[in-house]
Structure 1
């Protein structure tokens, strides 16, 4: 079993140096907010200040009553396509671009009023980079998704050119000089990614110097599961997990399709339940709403404490959609996966996991119960998958996590211009 992973170990505060102010600009999506929250906790543990920009209704339940939030207001966004190039286009056309336009004024006000030393900009919230550049404030990139690192579009020149045009359009619409254009997804000074070279498909020796590949940003956190009333919910306020129902002597599979997939995952969860029903020696722990029919002996909860289950060694394999949070948490605890990617960076991550031997990839839309059962049996019975997952987990842990990320941010903020 891999060494325990510390999610909250603080780094020592800097000596004889004034505290720094960090402004975090991140989209109101749990998969982006949760790792940023862990990083913010490590930053605060070093004696620094942190503030956030985003819709209060989405951020406050995750960040708590004491967080400094500069509100942007909230709006509805178009539903995104499920897979392929259409999903990438709809991500930008239906969410990133309108979200950037909608929030840019509020982000600019936050930069002007709070006067941060550094702005941390999620790659899918480029309003932060536009506002920081316009104000002459140093900014770093945050890359919680693998969709913007390496070459995840597989050399699709047409799609890449289209996205580049979208980014230039945002720059011009913000009124910034065309001669100063810089890709707002990539800070020239620092890009923090909660991953590792192997998982991103990069050669270690070719990783740019400005990249900080710190591995998963872990924090004892929210339960994983569908959104409640359209918002992520702090699981600590919900029903307690039924630990006593974990059956001794049986292997367990955790099934979670993430907080944004509830509206499309119902049929898949039904096929997963049928697959698990044919594995009588395996107990399923399923993050799913109550209407999903579960196999005999399974534990089904709307929200599941994923990280705590992994820390306790209560899970032997994970069946998921390939979201980076679930993948990272599984790997640092040495657990192999069966991955059914739905959209965005998930197919990229699933392909890399399969190439590394740490997972079996299946087709979300078409996989039959018997195929899912065979995939689960493979990762449970073949020790090679477990060994590969443990290897990638060690490579992720070598990044140093939230503490290393906070240290890199601090060095960048204090470095001479």
Structure 2
């Protein structure tokens, strides 16, 4: 048949070529996942397994698969769908159609991974984009909101927003399996001490002027935490000068009546190209980070303050769950009694985003061996498989990128 595919020739006599091709394709499903047809892979398939496989292939073609998730319960009058926690996200959509929903849920899950991990570059991490394809399977519920605004010309504008909530336990398991950091909850609410000079001198932004700082407050929520504003009493207004001088000690003393002892200190002023903001983030009297942001739009220059504070908090407080060492691991799978079982194994492994490639080694009786190239270790794979997987872990090898002689992970097909 094909080079190095000993055993495939068992598909013989009396069965149509189309059935033979179907059986061969399914038999090689695991190999095709890795794109490897190299010699040395052995396959053994009983005649009864070939017959059941042909039937199963026809059944699979005829059976559509649909993710199970539900729209949120109907709201009472006046309620508005809104993301409230780190496990909820809002994304704009073109419509409420079913065709638009999977992509929107993928973007929403990406936003949730960013909030829970605190990593704003999470979308570029290995395995994340593949995992987002299964976003509908993580959804607890979803709803829609219609936002109305006004264009620059004064005409009304409308925007449809999908609000999705994901199951916390599933998201936590995904983050652990992907080896992402976890920014623990509950999170602190730093005090934002922001002074703005639009040309008439620096002025402190207090609670009464919250709309002036809306972009930085909203950006903090998008990053998974919140910022507070000082009351803005007369005694605090004089701190605009201290902010301008970057006198962090004076600001920290004034902020002592607020909790926690964290301050995001910023000054926003005009420049030739637009606006510049200078930032300092202080935690319990210690400067964790300082940075500058510039933009033609004052709102974007301000929003960068929330990003810098989040990055500083994540660097200091986020923890990474041990999900093992990336590499190639040998896995032995037992309990295979039919060709249908081979397909179940193939589907279970191909559906896990931490599996980069699957290289079949051998199959004999109710046992098969494969080499799995993993983005994380076996522990990360097992987290991704979860309790509902047909593969049940039996033994786990030493974590590491090198396959030790006679050492393997073992799974039982249930």
TM-score by length of 1: 0.27
Larger radius of gyration: 2
- TM normalised by structure 2 equals 0.27
